[in-house]
Structure 1
Amino acid sequence: MKKDKEIKNASNRRDFLKTSAIAAAAFMIVPRHVLGGPGFLAPSDRLLVAGVGVGGKGESDIANFAKSGKADIAFLCDVDDRRSAPSRKAFPKAKYYKDWREMMDKEHKNFDAVSVSTPDHNHAIIALGAMQLGKHVYVQKPLTHDLYEARVLTNAAAKYKVVTQMGNQGASNDGPRQMREWVEAGLIGDVHTIYAWTDRPVWPQGIPWPSKAESIPKELDWDLWLGTAPQKDYVNKLVPFNWRGWWDYGTGALGDMGCHLIEAPFSVLGLKYATEVEASVGSVYVDEFKRGYFPESCPPSSHVTLKFPKTERNASDVELHWMDGGIQPQRPEELEADETFGDGGNGTLFIGTKGKMMCETYSANPKLLPLSRNKDIHVPEKYARVKGGADGHYAQWVEAAIAGYGKQNVSSPFEIAGPLTEALLMANLAIRSFDIQVKNGNNTSYPGRYKKMLWDNKNMKITNFDEANQFVKRTYRNGWDDLKV
């Protein structure tokens, strides 16, 4: 097919990425005084952004970059003409592509940065392709679909020296900074236990894959939408939202809300990589006594426990509990019966040796417990706030990218976002391994179901349950490169 001929094979593409990165670095920008005039912003003072996935969340992402006043949306790329229509109308001068590979091949000299807002399963390959061209990248949460991918992107950010930011707006809120100031002031002592919970999923999970194939909408390039994922027939109600509940594409409730709720423990305490994990999963019953086994779908609810070693900021090991599907921890005794726990459906609770504190989604509205404590606490501001808070998350990345690598800080660089994403995906590994243990519960080769799994971080593997390691790195569909930095 003509389209297939336009796409280079894997080895040629890797060679292209290397050479084009050099070419991009040599590209000259006309200085301000040649083009100028009062108030003129030279090309070097603006960021030319290419958006990949520009419907839904991607639509709001590129609109926020443009709103910063220092970014121009130069290119739009989306596999679905229906979803991309509002962005194409909003940015009529931006050239439109369906295939991000074609866009990068043809236009790499004409943009500075790439925003990735596709479904989770294609985040990593697009982001890495951009980074290898020397482009700054903004990637929606969760950073990647697989543990291995998260480690690759974390390493790539340092190697290619580009400005990175995960779309985790709560990282730019005041909350994480205020809670870190409270912890460092000793208000709750050393933190030893954390609970994070959500009312997600709000899409179908714990169900079998639909048995009936449907006609592909003419506006959708289904093959490009699948990308790295296995070949499957198109089914209704998967695009544009419900893919989140299927392991081939999404990362479930953890992928949707985990970054917003666990970011605070990472930024406040300096957590990095977990050492062990265990999970229990809500059952789906297909008849009166039998548990449904639907390995393609995320479960309806789960409770995962991760353990992290002490850090320079916190002198205690930390046990972090994740709960989804409406499961919540016991209300703290310091919280009155009618006082809201977190924001009601979601929240994060820190338990220390001297007290407790909690916050809402996006690390918003942190509070010491009991709530009466907040009236008399006056801890000096130690960490600079991000202008605009969560709304400033976009402008922060734009300005840092214009300044260049290492010149300005961002709230969620891959140095932080990578380990955070790995924690979420380690929890998902435990959830998927739980299903395997349930399936094999009567097999004598699996003594003691529902294992606590031990993680070898250096080698990225579970050391005491080898079947779990299939979830560290998936195999991409033929024709799509594996990640190589």
Structure 2
Amino acid sequence: MVQEKNNEGNQISRRSFLTTGATAAAGFMIVPRHVLGGKGHIAPSDRLRVAGIGVGGKGESDIAEFAKGPADIVVLCDVDDNRAANSVKRFPKAKYYKDFREMLDKEHKNIDAVSVSTPDHQHAVAAMAAMQLGKHVYVQKPLTHDIYEARMLTEAAKKYKVVTQMGNQGASGDGVRQLMEWYNAGLIGDVHTVYCWTNRPVWPQGLPWPTATAEIPKGLDWDLWLGTAPKKDFVNKLVPFNWRGWWDYGTGALGDMGCHIVEPPFRVLGLGYPTSAEASVGSVYVDEFKQGYFPDSCPPSSHVIMNFKGKAGDIKLHWMDGGIQPARPEELGPNERMGDGGNGAIFIGTKGKMMCGTYGMYPSLLPSSRNAEAKVAQTIARVPEGHYLQWVNACIAGYGKKELSAPFDIAGPLTETILMGNLAIRSYDVRKPKASGSGFDYPGRYIKLLWDGPNMKITNFDDANQFVKRSYRDGWTLGK
């Protein structure tokens, strides 16, 4: 899919997503590898040879899913031997490395594809290095840590002609397709407002960086774990999970859950770049008299409002995290579950409303009695093989041969939108000394940030642009 411009702003084309699946269902001829050749082309008669970068936790489950299909896990790479232990045991024939750069240098002729499931700050550099070698890539959500990185990976996927997929599994689910069919049939009219929310974070946020250092655990290469991030001493309880709450490494609740919750409205409504964003965040108090200022840490809660140009008019999308939720729709019964309980999305249109949970699950028209009355034909092909096998099969078929649910030309713009919300959150805490010399001003608060999407730039508050693209630590670059 490609981004298209019309007189109402940038939209994501849904032509290929709306196909009936004839292409995906079509058979193929068995062709020897040497006939196809070249980057991005793997013979349909072969199994996919996959290397995993980050193979503990979610990375462990990712490669296990690939292995259920016509894929062989031939190389493992992780900076932490302890986290990698289960995968090493499960795939004893796979070679093992700690540095993905060394792994790609030595093994690129022995692999066809790479799965990246590292902390967010390492996604882009690992994926770009693999794509530049002509390797297909599967990258966990969010696709990248920065807006700039997302744009670069999206462009690289086309340049190097590789098969790509982001790890937002709901994109292959039935729920988002049901929502699209209802919306396309006009059951709720033109959507003008969307509410998205999550009960996360479930990790610490709104904290000062720990002052006490700790001994690096045996088996963890801390310098490689830091990667692109600034050099810091190891501290307890940062790995393997709590890094999500620190801007140097993670992307907070929005980065973690936005690709699962914002994805349905982004896809259903064909959203492109937002035109503006504004945010408010929860405060942290270190004692009863002093408010904390911890810009290195994501806030404990936030509310972001982003505006988009829709085909039928402006669309306002609300994001809420840290337990903040929108008001319950009047059409929802007092004991009916909103979303999936802790997470969800509500679409408000000119003729009605609809709702879903995480991944687009539990799609429902509101009031729920409308679900039994709605008779809408299935027009969008489902993905019976699931998100993981869809990517494996597409890699085997070769670039451009099969449809995918979250290729980078969809996942990239979605990630940019998610990270635009984080840009607004981080801009809220930009502070400068007052001219009087006493106290601070916060010029990013209480304003609407105007976003030039094609050029990746805030046009009315330049200090916010520092969050579009970060500087890497010496020795790290985004590609060659």
TM superposition score normalised by structure 1: 0.88
Q: Which of 446, 458, 461 does residue 450 from structure 1 map onto?
A: 446
State the alpha-carbon separation in 1 of the partners of residues 433 and 304 from structure 2. 19
The corresponding residue for 2:264 is: 264
Report the alpha carbon displacement of residue 455 of structure 1 after superposing the two structures with TM: 0.6
The corresponding residue for 2:208 is: 208
Q: Deviations over 1:91-145 (max 9, x none)?
A: 0000000110001001110000000000000000000000000000000000000
Q: Are 1:176 and 2:176 an aligned pair?
A: yes
Report the alpha carbon displacement of residue 451 of structure 1 after superposing the two structures with TM: 1.3
Query: Does the 8 A contact of 2:204 with 2:245 survive in 1?
Result: yes
State the alpha-carbon separation in 2 of the partners of residues 395 and 191 from structure 1. 33
Secondary structure class of the residue paired with 2:203: coil
Letter in 1 for 2:79: V
Report the alpha carbon displacement of residue 413 of structure 1 after superposing the two structures with TM: 0.5
Secondary structure class of the residue paired with 1:342: coil
**Aligned ranges 1:37-436 → 2 under 5 Å:** 44-68=45-69, 70-311=70-311, 315-388=312-385, 392-436=386-430
Report the alpha carbon displacement of residue 435 of structure 1 after superposing the two structures with TM: 1.0
Query: Does the 8 A contact of 1:275 with 1:456 survive in 2?
Result: yes
Secondary structure class of the residue paired with 2:72: strand
State the alpha-carbon separation in 1 of the partners of residues 49 and 401 from structure 2. 19
State the alpha-carbon separation in 2 of the partners of residues 211 and 319 from structure 1. 41
Query: Does the 8 A contact of 2:431 with 2:443 survive in 1?
Result: no
Secondary structure class of the residue paired with 1:326: coil
Report the alpha carbon displacement of residue 29 of structure 1 after superposing the two structures with TM: 4.0
Q: What is the RMSD computed on CA atoms of the aligned residues?
A: 2.0
Secondary structure class of the residue paired with 1:309: strand
Report the alpha carbon displacement of residue 457 of structure 1 after superposing the two structures with TM: 1.4
Report the alpha carbon displacement of residue 458 of structure 1 after superposing the two structures with TM: 2.2
State the alpha-carbon separation in 1 of the partners of residues 132 and 228 from structure 2. 18
Could you say if the C-alpha distance between residues 449 and 29 of structure 1 is closer, same or farther in structure 2, counting changes exceeding 3 Å? closer
State the alpha-carbon separation in 2 of the partners of residues 264 and 71 from structure 1. 29
**Aligned ranges 1:1-12 → 2 under 5 Å:** none
Letter in 2 for 1:427: G
Q: Deviations over 1:38-70 (max 9, x none)?
A: xxx9884210000000000000000000012x0
Report the alpha carbon displacement of residue 448 of structure 1 after superposing the two structures with TM: 8.4
Could you say if the C-alpha distance between residues 230 and 44 of structure 1 is closer, same or farther in structure 2, counting changes exceeding 3 Å? farther
Report the alpha carbon displacement of residue 481 of structure 1 after superposing the two structures with TM: 1.4
Query: Does the 8 A contact of 1:440 with 1:446 survive in 2?
Result: no
State the alpha-carbon separation in 2 of the partners of residues 387 and 164 from structure 1. 19
Q: Are 1:466 and 2:462 an aligned pair?
A: yes
The corresponding residue for 1:16 is: none
Q: Deviations over 1:294-336 (max 9, x none)?
A: 011000000000011114xxx1221000000000000000001
Letter in 1 for 2:273: Y
State the alpha-carbon separation in 2 of the partners of residues 157 and 209 from structure 1. 36
Letter in 1 for 2:329: P
The corresponding residue for 2:7 is: none
Could you say if the C-alpha distance between residues 303 and 438 of structure 1 is closer, same or farther in structure 2, counting changes exceeding 3 Å? farther
Query: Does the 8 A contact of 1:152 with 1:483 survive in 2?
Result: no
State the alpha-carbon separation in 2 of the partners of residues 454 and 483 from structure 1. 30
Q: Deviations over 1:224-244 (max 9, x none)?
A: 000000000000100100000
Name the structure with the higher helix share.
Answer: 1
* Structure 2 residue runs without a partner (length 5+): 1-31, 36-41
Secondary structure class of the residue paired with 2:214: coil
Report the alpha carbon displacement of residue 482 of structure 1 after superposing the two structures with TM: 3.8
Query: Does the 8 A contact of 2:44 with 2:397 survive in 1?
Result: no
Q: Deviations over 1:259-285 (max 9, x none)?
A: 000110111111111110000000001
Query: Does the 8 A contact of 1:30 with 1:43 survive in 2?
Result: no
Query: Does the 8 A contact of 2:429 with 2:445 survive in 1?
Result: no
Letter in 1 for 2:377: P
Q: Deviations over 1:379-426 (max 9, x none)?
A: 0000000014xxx10000000010011100110000110011011111
* Structure 1 residue runs without a partner (length 5+): 1-27, 32-40
Query: Does the 8 A contact of 2:340 with 2:362 survive in 1?
Result: no
Query: Does the 8 A contact of 2:432 with 2:442 survive in 1?
Result: no
- % identity of equivalent residues: 72
TM superposition score normalised by structure 2: 0.89
Secondary structure class of the residue paired with 1:406: coil
The corresponding residue for 2:17 is: none
Letter in 1 for 2:87: S
Query: Does the 8 A contact of 2:432 with 2:441 survive in 1?
Result: no
Could you say if the C-alpha distance between residues 338 and 29 of structure 1 is closer, same or farther in structure 2, counting changes exceeding 3 Å? same
Report the alpha carbon displacement of residue 287 of structure 1 after superposing the two structures with TM: 2.2
Could you say if the C-alpha distance between residues 255 and 440 of structure 1 is closer, same or farther in structure 2, counting changes exceeding 3 Å? farther
State the alpha-carbon separation in 2 of the partners of residues 55 and 444 from structure 1. 43
Letter in 1 for 2:278: E
Report the alpha carbon displacement of residue 289 of structure 1 after superposing the two structures with TM: 3.6
State the alpha-carbon separation in 2 of the partners of residues 85 and 482 from structure 1. 29
Query: Does the 8 A contact of 1:244 with 1:251 survive in 2?
Result: yes
Query: Does the 8 A contact of 1:248 with 1:296 survive in 2?
Result: yes
Query: Does the 8 A contact of 1:206 with 1:298 survive in 2?
Result: yes
Could you say if the C-alpha distance between residues 387 and 439 of structure 1 is closer, same or farther in structure 2, counting changes exceeding 3 Å? farther
